[in-house]
């Protein structure tokens, strides 16, 4: 009689500890980053019956400036927590979409314009408190999850300045976050987004006490004396000068082992490494850190001495796979280059061979010293094309456009995926956004199949010489041109025409007053860092040049002489983040421009692969084009793969086993985000942020929930 209760207790504990994946309490669904739901109410037989259950409008989209929502919301105890385009935090009834409260970080303060594209938020609770952690501008906020009021015991009356603990020199630099932090026990671990130029702040990873906001530990991503890998830097003083190597993409966590997995970006400046010779650890690394202490357990560098902006774009997915007949707990990392990397979670040993292969070694840029090899995984095979050949030129273009594209392609350097940046222009393919991008893959833990959406868009990186000398007796016009070239050209181009994700600055005088433009320089906006560190005379000179203020341009420039910093004053700059497009704005490469792939991580083999999205410019041509896409899929136990992400503004559901499209609907604005899947009162919901704003799409301000009709 006594054995039955004992077995019942064992089974109860076992079920309690087993991850059921029924809710969405964490960014990407779980701390393992799976983007998986075990809910089955919506399945392959009834997905066609999905209808809009509710829509919540935040009411603060900026359609003029193409605001965005990239948030993957979380649901805890029947409450859905979401972020608006203006970075207000809202708590909604998860079943109806009705707001419970809204937290406005700007209440009583001047509304900042450097609004980061925030992709998620973090929930924590204990017996006394329930808190939401998220960032707005350069501050990390702690908000009471029940009332929507600031948790004033945290940091400085409920917030922490993200510049804290990065050193005195970082206080005026650009530091925000785009991905949420990770909770481990009573710690909140955060990364950061910093400038990608030579003035980048350090990208250190920090842990804070969730109760008080006090620093618990810090990991220096550019090692300092006495730290691991410091001796591998050729210049032993360089840690004092360099920034970047930041973990902007967020984290995944093996909570049982206490291992934090942190992907990092490149060391600044992104496209020239003459001042940072060597492999540049811990840039472009997957780091495995002890979550208790921040100490390094292992690392793998995916790109040595990166000069192509090939940051690791998303946190790895933690899943158990079968390898050589044994179950192995793995960390699975996708890359901008189109690779999938699998590692043993505890040791960092690759599960499939990774070969160091020779790559182009010669650069025309003085002082540049490229690394002679780069890592190539043997399996799985790349999920994107990695070289743009003449046969890849876009055959859908009109004859005159095709001829123009071919002439430009002929002049560019393009013979290798690791062709270095050049003055002629180098084709970077997959492009600067990837390949795999910040959404990251979804993985079904029951099958070990990975689903990854990818872009196949070439970009062109062109390098120009910088004349950093300041002439005597400059006018504001001369100083403005010089300062624009040094501070703004890499994003907005030498002729101020913009490109890629960056807007044109031509004729902006019709949009901004001088005061508004100076404020924009100070605060930045979304991808644009603020330049508050510049002196007023420098800002006024830039404004005089860009806004074409003739009377001010003619006046003598009275600003500071430029100090010579051999680490930050570089001999080269890039002319802008430019996609390789035809004169009509179409991709110079033939389709597909967006893909969706299913890869069996147990074998490294593909299950299926297809295009993702449809470019309306080529509709009816009998070609499956795909489109650029930003966001991620979610896979369910109901046999489905949900994804929005495409610029055609569709939400789609695929059969996860075959890749067959089963359902699609048009969203009120493009959903450049990751869906959340959860259950409330016995009903399954799929929610997507419809923010648009990217890829020249209209901005939106809503979250839309889908569920089966009554």
Segment 166-203, tens digit of pLDDT: 998 888 888 999 999 999 999 999 999 998 888 899 99
Q: pLDDT-based confidence at 9, cuts 50/70/90? A: very low
Q: Inform me whether the pLDDT recorded for 256 exceeds 90.
A: yes
In a domain, 583, yes or no: no
In a domain, 493, yes or no: yes
Q: Inform me whether the pLDDT recorded for 65 exceeds 80.
A: no
| CA angle, 310 then 316 then 317, to 5° | 145
| CA angle, 14 then 23 then 146, to 5° | 110
d(CA 368, CA 354): 26
In a domain, 116, yes or no: no
Segment 562-593, tens digit of pLDDT: 655 666 778 898 888 899 999 999 999 999 99
Segment 276-331, tens digit of pLDDT: 999 999 999 999 999 999 999 999 999 999 999 999 999 999 999 999 999 999 99
pLDDT at residue 505, as a whole number: 82
67 closest CA partner among 703, 644, 692, 528: 692
Concatenating the DSSP letter of every residue in 187-243 gives EEEE--EE-SSTTPPB--EEEEETTT--EEEEE-SS--TTSTTGGG-SSTTGGGT--
d(CA 697, CA 366): 41
Scanning 306-391, the segments in alpha helix (DSSP H) are: none
- Cα separation of the two ends of the chain: 46
pLDDT at residue 19, as a whole number: 66
pLDDT at residue 34, as a whole number: 98
pLDDT at residue 710, as a whole number: 73
DSSP 8-state secondary structure symbol assigned to residue 596 = E
Segment 621-669, tens digit of pLDDT: 999 999 999 999 999 999 999 999 999 999 999 999 999 999 999 999 9
Residues 6+ apart with CB under 8 A from 553: 475, 476, 477, 480, 544, 545
Q: pLDDT-based confidence at 354, cuts 50/70/90? A: very high
Mean pLDDT score across all residues of the chain: 91
Question: Domain range spanning residue 551?
Answer: 469-561
259 closest CA partner among 214, 302, 311, 296: 296
d(CA 543, CA 420): 34
Which element (helix H / strand E) includes 560? none
Q: Inform me whether the pLDDT recorded for 86 exceeds 50.
A: yes
In a domain, 511, yes or no: yes
pLDDT at residue 13, as a whole number: 39
| pTM across the whole model | 0.90
Mean pLDDT of the region 53-76: 92
In a domain, 501, yes or no: yes
In a domain, 557, yes or no: yes
Segment 102-144, tens digit of pLDDT: 999 988 776 665 567 899 999 999 999 999 999 998 999 999 9
Domain count, the chain: 1
Q: pLDDT-based confidence at 12, cuts 50/70/90? A: very low
pLDDT at residue 653, as a whole number: 98
In a domain, 480, yes or no: yes
| Beta pairing partners, 594 | 455
How does strand 634-636 pair with strand 36-37? parallel
pLDDT at residue 682, as a whole number: 96
Helix%, strand%, coil% for the chain, nearest 5: 15, 30, 55
d(CA 59, CA 39): 31
Q: What is the 3-state secondary structure (H, E, C) of 237-273?
A: CHHHCCCECCCCCCCEEECCCCEEEEECCCECCCCCC
d(CA 83, CA 413): 42
d(CA 591, CA 670): 21
d(CA 405, CA 395): 11
Q: Is the dihedral of CA 615, 616, 618, 620 positive or negative?
A: positive
DSSP 8-state secondary structure symbol assigned to residue 554 = T
Contact 58, 73 (CB under 8 A): no
Q: Which residues of 670-692 are buried (b: 16+ CB within 10 A; e: fewer)?
A: bbbbbbbbbbbeebbbbbbbbbb
248 closest CA partner among 315, 171, 345: 315
Q: pLDDT-based confidence at 525, cuts 50/70/90? A: low
In a domain, 118, yes or no: no
Could you tell me how many helices (H) and strands (E) the chain has, helices first? 7, 41
Q: Report the 10 Å Cβ neighbour count for 389.
A: 11
pLDDT at residue 389, as a whole number: 96
DSSP 8-state secondary structure symbol assigned to residue 621 = S
Q: Inform me whether the pLDDT recorded for 14 exceeds 50.
A: no
pLDDT at residue 6, as a whole number: 44
Concatenating the DSSP letter of every residue in 490-514 gives HHH-TTS--BTTB---TTGGGT--H
Low-confidence winner among 2-11, 18-27, 105-114 (lowest mean pLDDT): 2-11
Concatenating the DSSP letter of every residue in 403-460 gives HHHHHHHHHSB-SSTTPPPBSS-EEESS-TT-SS-TT--EEETTTTEEEEEEE---EE
462, two tokens? 């062109």
Which percentage of the chain shows pLDDT scores above 90? 74
**CATH number of the domain enclosing 475:** 1.10.760.10
Q: Inform me whether the pLDDT recorded for 456 exceeds 50.
A: yes
Q: Inform me whether the pLDDT recorded for 16 exceeds 50.
A: no
pLDDT at residue 467, as a whole number: 67
């Amino acid at each position: 009689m006594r054995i039955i209760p004992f077995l019942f207790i064992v089974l109860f504990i076992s079920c309690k500890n087993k991850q059921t994946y029924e809710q969405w309490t964490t960014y990407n669904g779980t701390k393992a980053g799976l983007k998986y739901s075990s809910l089955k109410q919506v399945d392959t037989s009834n997905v066609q019956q999905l209808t809009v259950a509710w829509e919540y409008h935040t009411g603060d989209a900026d359609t003029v400036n193409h605001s965005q929502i990239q948030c993957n919301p979380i649901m805890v105890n029947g409450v859905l927590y979401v972020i608006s385009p203006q970075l207000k935090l809202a708590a909604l009834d998860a079943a109806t979409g009705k707001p419970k409260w809204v937290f406005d970080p700007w209440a009583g303060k001047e509304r900042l314009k450097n609004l980061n594209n925030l992709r998620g938020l973090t929930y924590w609770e204990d017996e006394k408190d329930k808190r939401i952690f998220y960032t707005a501008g350069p501050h990390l906020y702690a908000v009471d999850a029940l009332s929507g009021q600031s948790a004033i015991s945290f940091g400085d009356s409920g917030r922490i300045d993200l510049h804290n603990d990065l050193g005195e020199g970082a206080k005026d630099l650009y530091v925000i976050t785009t991905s949420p932090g990770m909770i481990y026990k009573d710690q909140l671990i955060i990364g950061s987004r910093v400038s990608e130029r030579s003035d980048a702040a350090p990208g250190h990873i920090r842990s804070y006490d969730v109760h008080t906001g006090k620093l618990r530990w810090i990991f220096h991503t550019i090692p300092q004396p006495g730290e691991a890998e410091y001796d591998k830097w050729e210049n032993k003083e360089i840690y004092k000068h360099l920034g970047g190597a930041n973990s902007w993409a967020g984290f995944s966590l093996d909570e049982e082992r206490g291992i934090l997995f942190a992907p990092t970006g490149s060391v600044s400046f992104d496209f020239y490494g003459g001042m940072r010779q060597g492999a540049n650890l811990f840039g472009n690394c997957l780091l495995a850190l002890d979550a208790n202490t921040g100490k390094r357990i292992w690392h793998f560098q995916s790109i040595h001495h990166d000069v192509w902006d090939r940051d690791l774009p998303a946190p790895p997915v933690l899943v158990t796979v079968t390898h050589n007949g044994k179950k192995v707990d793995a960390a699975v990392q996708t890359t901008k280059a189109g690779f999938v990397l699998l590692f043993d979670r505890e040791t960092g040993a690759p599960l499939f061979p990774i070969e160091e292969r020779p790559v182009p070694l010669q650069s025309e840029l003085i002082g540049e010293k490229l690394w002679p090899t780069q890592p190539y995984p043997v399996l799985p095979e790349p999920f994107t094309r990695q070289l743009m050949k003449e046969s890849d030129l876009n055959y859908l273009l009109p004859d005159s456009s095709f001829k123009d594209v071919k002439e430009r392609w002929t002049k560019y350097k393009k013979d290798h995926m690791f062709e270095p940046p050049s003055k002629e222009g180098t084709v970077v393919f997959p492009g600067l956004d990837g390949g795999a991008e910040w959404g990251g893959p979804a993985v079904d833990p029951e099958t070990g199949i990975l689903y990854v959406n990818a872009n196949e868009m070439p970009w062109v990186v062109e390098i120009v010489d910088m004349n950093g000398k300041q002439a005597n007796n400059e006018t504001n016009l001369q100083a403005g041109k010089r300062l624009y070239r040094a501070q703004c050209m890499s994003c907005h181009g030498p002729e101020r025409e913009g490109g890629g994700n960056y807007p044109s600055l031509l004729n902006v005088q019709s949009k901004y007053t001088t005061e508004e433009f100076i404020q924009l320089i100070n605060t930045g906006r979304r991808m644009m860092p603020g330049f508050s560190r510049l002196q007023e005379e420098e800002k006024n000179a830039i404004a005089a040049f860009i806004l074409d203020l003739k009377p001010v341009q003619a006046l003598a420039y009275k600003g500071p002489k430029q100090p010579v910093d051999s680490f930050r004053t570089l001999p080269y700059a890039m002319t802008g983040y430019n996609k390789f497009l035809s004169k009509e704005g179409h991709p110079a490469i033939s389709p597909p421009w967006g893909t969706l792939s299913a890869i069996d991580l147990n074998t490294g083999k593909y299950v299926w692969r297809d295009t993702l999205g449809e470019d309306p410019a080529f509709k009816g041509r009998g070609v499956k084009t795909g489109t650029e896409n930003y966001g991620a899929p979610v896979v369910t136990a109901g046999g489905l793969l949900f994804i929005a992400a495409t610029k055609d503004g569709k939400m789609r559901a695929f059969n996860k086993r075959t890749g067959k499209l089963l359902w699609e609907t048009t969203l009120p604005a493009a959903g450049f985000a990751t869906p959340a899947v959860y259950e409330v009162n016995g009903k399954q919901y799929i929610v997507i942020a419809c923010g648009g704003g990217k890829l020249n799409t209209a901005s939106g301000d809503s979250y839309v929930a889908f569920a089966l009709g009554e």
